Amino acid sequence: MTDPCRARIEATWQVLRQQDGDLGVPLDHFMGRLDAVLADQADRAQALDALVLPDLYLVLGCLAGSDRAIRLFLERFGAYLTRLCQRYAPTGAIAEDVEAQLLATLFTARHADDPTSARLFAYRGAGTLQGWLRVTARRLVIDLLRRQRAEGEPPRLDQLATPGPRQDAQIERSQAAALLRPVFLECVAELSEAERALLRRYYRDGDVLREIGADLGIDTSSVFRRLGTAREKIWKRFQRRARTELGLTEGDLRSLLGSLAAGLDLDELFASALVFFDPVF
């Protein structure tokens, strides 16, 4: 790393220590992590500009076992994680399982002989920590549902859901998913392999547009346009089939999708649907 980059990193580290306090992240450890993150970057100064260093500093503190860092993390993201798990999981029991798994493995190693197996170690500062947590929660929901499917029929919804209004909402989500899932999967399957791979990287794997573009040899705006084209294809086919095969109006369809992801914008709605329907790309 060039000297100007090191000077900027040291200045940032000092500011972060003043803002958040000592999180158990010495300067040499902070620089060492950034050395690793920027090792394969041709323009390290530009790559450094793109990193979310406050989030990375907090993550390194959590991985170092700092009580202060973990408290700050839970203050900033604890309620958000609960909402995420409730949003993406089809039942209350699964939401609780996913949240428990996530909290148990974010800061501590999942494998005793591999300290880098703590989930937060995968966060490298490319994009906000909030966005990274969103992708991680979606992956955990997918993994849990796939394990349940591989082990046999999942428990009935009435055995998993908590009583009261939340149970009614869960039943609505289950009914909506049962009706729409086959149609949605058919629409995804009709995309080209390149389009499915692009959706997989962006929605399931959480790769940012810049990373995808670098791998494909195209600029970020081109990646954005390709994603938009793939989404538009799915949505148009989805609407057409919902009308012809299920007899649903556009209002009916939006109402059913609203049962799955009420209050989300279109992009979040699409991401939530991809996770909930668990398509095999």
pLDDT tens sequence across 230-254: 888 888 888 888 778 777 777 777 7
If asked whether residues 58 and 179 sit together in one domain, one would say no
Cβ(13)–Cβ(57) below 8 Å: yes
If asked whether residues 121 and 174 sit together in one domain, one would say no
Given this model, what pLDDT does residue 31 score?
A: 92
Instruction: For residue 51, list its beta bridge partners.
Output: 126
Question: Is residue 238 a part of any domain in this protein?
Answer: yes
Instruction: For residue 111, list its beta bridge partners.
Output: 114
More confident residue, 186 or 155: 186
Question: Is residue 155 a part of any domain in this protein?
Answer: no
Q: Is the pLDDT of residue 144 over 70?
A: yes
Local confidence band at 272 (pLDDT 50, 70, 90 cut-offs): low
Handedness of CA 237, 238, 243, 249 (dihedral sign): negative
If asked whether residues 132 and 67 sit together in one domain, one would say yes
Question: Is residue 154 a part of any domain in this protein?
Answer: no
Question: Is residue 150 a part of any domain in this protein?
Answer: no
Instruction: For residue 5, list its beta bridge partners.
Output: none
If asked whether residues 135 and 181 sit together in one domain, one would say no
If asked whether residues 111 and 185 sit together in one domain, one would say no
Given this model, what pLDDT does residue 174 score?
A: 56
C-alpha to C-alpha distance for 23 and 52, rounded to whole angstroms: 17
pLDDT digits (tens, 9 = 90+) for 17-38: 999 999 999 999 999 999 888 8
If asked whether residues 211 and 85 sit together in one domain, one would say no
More confident residue, 199 or 274: 199
If asked whether residues 135 and 29 sit together in one domain, one would say yes
Most confidently modeled range among 80-94, 179-193, 216-230: 216-230
If asked whether residues 112 and 48 sit together in one domain, one would say yes
Given this model, what pLDDT does residue 265 score?
A: 47
C-alpha dist (Å) from residue 24 to 53, 132, 182, 220: 15, 22, 50, 36
Domain that holds residue 29: 3-140
CATH of the domain at 220: 1.10.10.10
- Show which of 88, 107, 140 is a domain's final residue: 140
If asked whether residues 192 and 257 sit together in one domain, one would say yes
Q: Is the pLDDT of residue 168 over 90?
A: no
Q: Is the pLDDT of residue 157 over 50?
A: no
Question: Is residue 27 a part of any domain in this protein?
Answer: yes
Question: Is residue 250 a part of any domain in this protein?
Answer: yes
Provide the number of structural domains found in the chain. 2
C-alpha to C-alpha distance for 142 and 83, rounded to whole angstroms: 16
Question: Is residue 124 a part of any domain in this protein?
Answer: yes
Q: Is the pLDDT of residue 61 over 60?
A: yes
If asked whether residues 134 and 218 sit together in one domain, one would say no
Average confidence score pLDDT of the chain: 78
Question: Is residue 136 a part of any domain in this protein?
Answer: yes
User: pTM to 2 decimals?
Assistant: 0.62
Given this model, what pLDDT does residue 270 score?
A: 60
If asked whether residues 121 and 56 sit together in one domain, one would say yes
C-alpha to C-alpha distance for 124 and 122, rounded to whole angstroms: 6
If asked whether residues 134 and 203 sit together in one domain, one would say no
Given this model, what pLDDT does residue 269 score?
A: 53
Given this model, what pLDDT does residue 73 score?
A: 95
